[in-house]
Amino acid sequence: ERVNKAMEELDYHPNSLARGLRSGKTKTIGLVIPDISNQFFAEISRKIEDKGFEHGYSVILCNTDDNPQKEKTYIDVLIAKKVEGIIFISTVVESNNLQKTLEFNIPIIVVDRDIKDINSDIVLVDNNVGGYEATRYLIQLGHRRIACIEGPSPITPSSQRVGGYRKALQEARIPVDEDLIIAGDFRYESGNKAMRYLLNLSQPPTAVFACNDMMALGAIQAVNDHGLRIPDDISVIGFDNIPFSQTVYPTLTTMAQPIYEMAGLAVDLLIDRIKLQRQRNRGEVQKPGFKRIILETKLVKRNSCREIGKN
């Protein structure tokens, strides 16, 4: 009681940073994401922050803007701030930046974007099956001239989704027209630009698979600006199931990613790794093998696709 009274009189607040340095328990985790303006990352960040807070952890959010140099800087910042672990969504495939965290024995959980040869637990979705199911759905609706707006090809989610697109066409014996695969960068403007190009072809597609919802939203805008209608003139399907996909007109058919499940798993895995690291620091148990968890996407049918060829 005397101590508490003195603290009150002195208006003393324990320095959590100093306490953390001494105990190695800063109760802080880092979260590195590529683009906070994309609701996919905003949603996953919110869930990670919620769940981290439930477990008594503060979360330091680092937005890398798809910039590998900024990503490297942020990793140095997180090491300097002695975070106890990092949940990491990379900007590129090879993330040598991450090796440094392992030298400092900071556990990391890789989410959403696979990274080669990294010693960490990984939480992904099956992007190839997601792209396949999106395209197969359009084929089942009668579409044959189906375009694909791809994301940044070097990163795994986009290249795998495009692989699923190709597989569905080949399975239906529909020749893949390379002129209908248009590069995008997962951002709205690139979807808008890609759709404008497709609509100006001498033979425009009757359906478009956009490898994420932000590009699908940009594509919808381009169709409207062109004086055409969705799905009457062209069908569009996206990937992610961000909140905007339910509020855009017409509502967007999309492949839903289990965003909250991915976030929850990442936090659970990281907290387990943090506990293990503490045990290892005390010379206890050996680190068990790393987990590689691949979740499923789910087709969410809304109003942006229609059946053709029946009338």
- Contact call for residue 241 and ligand RIB (CB under 6 A): no
What is the rounded distance in angstroms from the CA atom of residue 102 to the CA atom of residue 30?
14
Q: Is residue 44 within 8 Å of residue 257, measured between CB atoms? A: no
What's the min distance (Å) between Cβ of 44 and ligand RIB? 9
In terms of CB distance, is 263 or 274 closer to ligand RIB? Answer: 263
- Contact call for residue 114 and ligand RIB (CB under 6 A): no
The 3-state secondary structure of 25-70, one letter per residue: CCCEEEEEECCCCCHHHHHHHHHHHHHHHHCCCEEEEEECCCCHHH
- Contact call for residue 113 and ligand RIB (CB under 6 A): yes
Return the residue of 57, 88, 186, 188 that touches ligand RIB, per CB under 6 A. 186
Radius of gyration of the chain (CA): 23
What is the rounded distance in angstroms from the CA atom of residue 272 to the CA atom of residue 268?
6
Eight-state DSSP code of residue 24: S
In terms of CB distance, is 92 or 271 closer to ligand RIB? Answer: 92
Q: Is residue 135 within 8 Å of residue 209, measured between CB atoms? A: yes
Q: Is residue 267 within 8 Å of residue 87, measured between CB atoms? A: yes
* Residues 122-161: x where in contact with ligand RIB by CB under 6 A, - otherwise, as a string: -----------------------------------x----
Nearby residues of 22 by Cβ (< 8 Å), 6 or more positions away: none
- Contact call for residue 107 and ligand RIB (CB under 6 A): no
Q: Is residue 220 within 8 Å of residue 252, measured between CB atoms? A: yes
- Contact call for residue 112 and ligand RIB (CB under 6 A): yes
* Residues 41-80: x where in contact with ligand RIB by CB under 6 A, - otherwise, as a string: ----------------------------------------
Eight-state DSSP code of residue 77: H
Q: Which residue is nearest to ligand RIB (CB)?
A: 212
In terms of CB distance, is 84 or 240 closer to ligand RIB? Answer: 240
Footprint of ligand RIB (CB under 6 A): 38, 40, 112-113, 157, 186, 212, 214, 239-240
